[in-house]
C-alpha cells in the first residue's frame, strides 16, 4: 500500500513538472516548433514552371564554338514561394564540353550535365530540346595585313597620297573557317575632313568582322600623307649620251609642280646597271611624291 502511494506521488510530481511548472515558456516553445514544422512541410506548395534561357557552352581551349547562340527551355520544380522569386533575366544554362574534340557534334541536354543557378528549394527537372547540334572548330593563328579606313574630304585642292600602317601586319587568332578566308584587317575609320598636310593617327583600334576572332595587338599608328592634288603630264627628251635616242615618259605629281615643268629639267641615266635599264633623273629639290610612269626609250 505504501509502494502504491509512493508511485502516485511520483506521477503527480512528474505531471506538475511537465504541465504546470514554466508553462508559459514551454507553450512558447511549442508554438515556435509547430510554426517551423508547418513552414517546412505543412504550408509548402509544390509547383513547376518553364523558362526560356540562353545556353552557354564551354568548349576546349584549342577550339571555338562556332554554331549559333541558342536558347533552351527548362522546367524547374520546387516550393512555389521560391519559384515565384526566380528572375528569368538571371537564368543561364551552362554545359561543359572541355573534353570534347573539335568537329560537328550532337550533344544531349539533361539535368545531370546542364547546370542552372537556381534557389536552394528549386530543382531542374526537364530540358527541351534534349539534343542540339554543336560545331567546335580548331583555333588557328596567323599574321595578316592591316589596312587603314578613311572617311571625309580633305581640304579643297588636296588629296591623300598614302596611308602607311605601323605595324603593317598583325597576329590574329580565331576559328579555322574564318582564318582561312581572312586576308586583312582594317582600322577604325580615320576622319580626313579639312586636312591639307601629313599627320599621324595614333593608337587607332582594329576591327575584325568575326566576334570570335581576336587581335593580339588591337591598336596601330597610321601615317597619312596628304598633298596638293596631282595631275599626269607627258614629256619627251633626247638622250645626250646617245645621239638619236629619245625617252618618252609621264610625270604624276602635284599640279603646281608638274604644270610648270619643262623637258630640259630632266635627264636620263641609261645602262647604269650594266644592262638596258633606264631611269629619269628629276630635279634634286623635287619631293619624293613625284612618280615617273610609262618610260619608253627608243632610237
The class level of CATH for 46-129 reads mainly beta
Dist. CA 128–CA 72, nearest whole Å: 6
Q: What residues contact residue 253 under an 8 Å CB cut-off, 6+ apart?
A: 230, 231, 286, 287, 289, 290, 291
Question: Nearest-CA neighbor of 199 among 169, 227, 218?
Answer: 227
Predicted pLDDT at 13: 55
- The residue extents of the domains of the chain are 2-42, 46-129, 139-228, 230-298
Predicted pLDDT at 42: 44
* C-alpha cell recorded at residue 260: 610648270
Q: Is 266 exposed, middle or buried (0-12, 13-18, 19+ CB in 10 A)?
A: middle
Predicted pLDDT at 63: 85
Question: Nearest-CA neighbor of 111 among 150, 145, 77, 81?
Answer: 77
Predicted pLDDT at 240: 77
Identify the three-state secondary structure at position 192.
Answer: coil
Residue 297 DSSP symbol: E
Dist. CA 146–CA 206, nearest whole Å: 8
Predicted pLDDT at 33: 62
Dist. CA 112–CA 279, nearest whole Å: 78
Identify the three-state secondary structure at position 139.
Answer: strand
* Per-10-residue mean pLDDT, the chain, length 299: 56 55 59 57 72 91 84 92 88 91 91 90 92 92 96 96 96 92 95 96 93 90 97 91 86 96 90 69 92 90
Residue 89 DSSP symbol: G
Predicted pLDDT at 260: 95
> Looking at the domain 139-228, which fold is it?
RNA Polymerase Alpha Subunit; Chain A, domain 2 (2.170.120)
Domains 46-129 and 139-228 share a fold: yes
Predicted pLDDT at 276: 64
Q: Are 231 and 167 in contact (CB under 8 A)?
A: no
Amino acid at each position: 500500500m505504501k509502494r502504491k502511494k509512493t508511485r502516485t506521488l511520483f506521477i503527480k510530481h512528474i505531471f506538475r513538472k511537465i504541465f504546470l511548472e514554466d508553462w508559459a515558456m514551454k507553450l512558447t516553445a511549442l508554438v515556435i516548433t509547430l510554426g517551423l514544422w508547418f513552414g517546412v512541410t505543412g504550408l509548402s506548395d509544390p509547383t513547376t514552371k518553364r523558362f526560356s534561357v540562353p545556353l552557354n557552352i564551354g568548349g576546349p581551349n584549342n577550339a571555338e564554338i562556332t554554331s549559333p547562340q541558342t536558347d533552351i527551355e527548362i522546367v524547374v520544380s520546387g516550393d512555389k514561394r521560391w519559384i515565384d522569386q526566380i528572375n528569368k533575366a538571371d537564368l543561364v544554362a551552362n554545359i561543359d564540353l572541355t573534353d570534347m574534340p573539335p568537329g560537328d557534334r550532337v550533344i544531349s541536354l539533361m539535368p545531370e550535365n546542364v547546370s542552372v543557378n537556381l534557389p536552394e528549394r528549386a530543382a531542374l527537372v526537364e530540358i527541351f530540346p534534349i539534343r542540339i547540334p554543336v560545331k567546335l572548330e580548331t583555333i588557328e593563328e596567323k599574321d595578316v595585313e592591316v589596312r587603314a579606313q578613311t572617311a571625309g574630304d580633305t581640304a579643297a585642292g588636296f588629296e591623300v597620297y598614302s596611308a602607311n600602317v605601323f605595324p603593317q601586319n598583325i597576329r590574329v587568332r580565331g576559328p579555322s573557317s574564318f582564318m582561312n578566308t581572312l586576308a586583312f584587317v582594317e582600322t577604325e575609320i580615320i576622319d580626313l575632313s579639312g586636312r591639307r598636310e601629313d599627320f599621324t593617327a595614333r593608337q587607332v583600334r582594329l576591327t575584325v568582322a568575326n566576334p570570335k576572332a581576336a587581335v593580339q595587338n588591337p591598336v596601330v599608328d597610321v601615317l597619312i600623307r596628304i598633298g596638293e592634288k596631282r595631275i599626269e603630264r607627258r614629256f619627251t627628251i633626247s638622250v645626250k649620251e646617245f645621239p638619236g635616242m629619245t625617252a618618252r615618259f609621264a610625270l604624276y605629281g602635284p599640279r603646281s609642280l608638274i604644270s610648270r615643268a619643262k623637258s630640259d629639267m630632266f635627264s636620263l641615266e641609261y645602262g647604269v646597271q650594266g644592262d638596258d635599264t633606264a631611269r629619269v633623273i628629276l630635279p634634286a629639290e623635287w619631293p619624293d611624291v613625284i612618280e615617273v610612269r610609262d618610260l619608253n626609250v627608243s632610237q
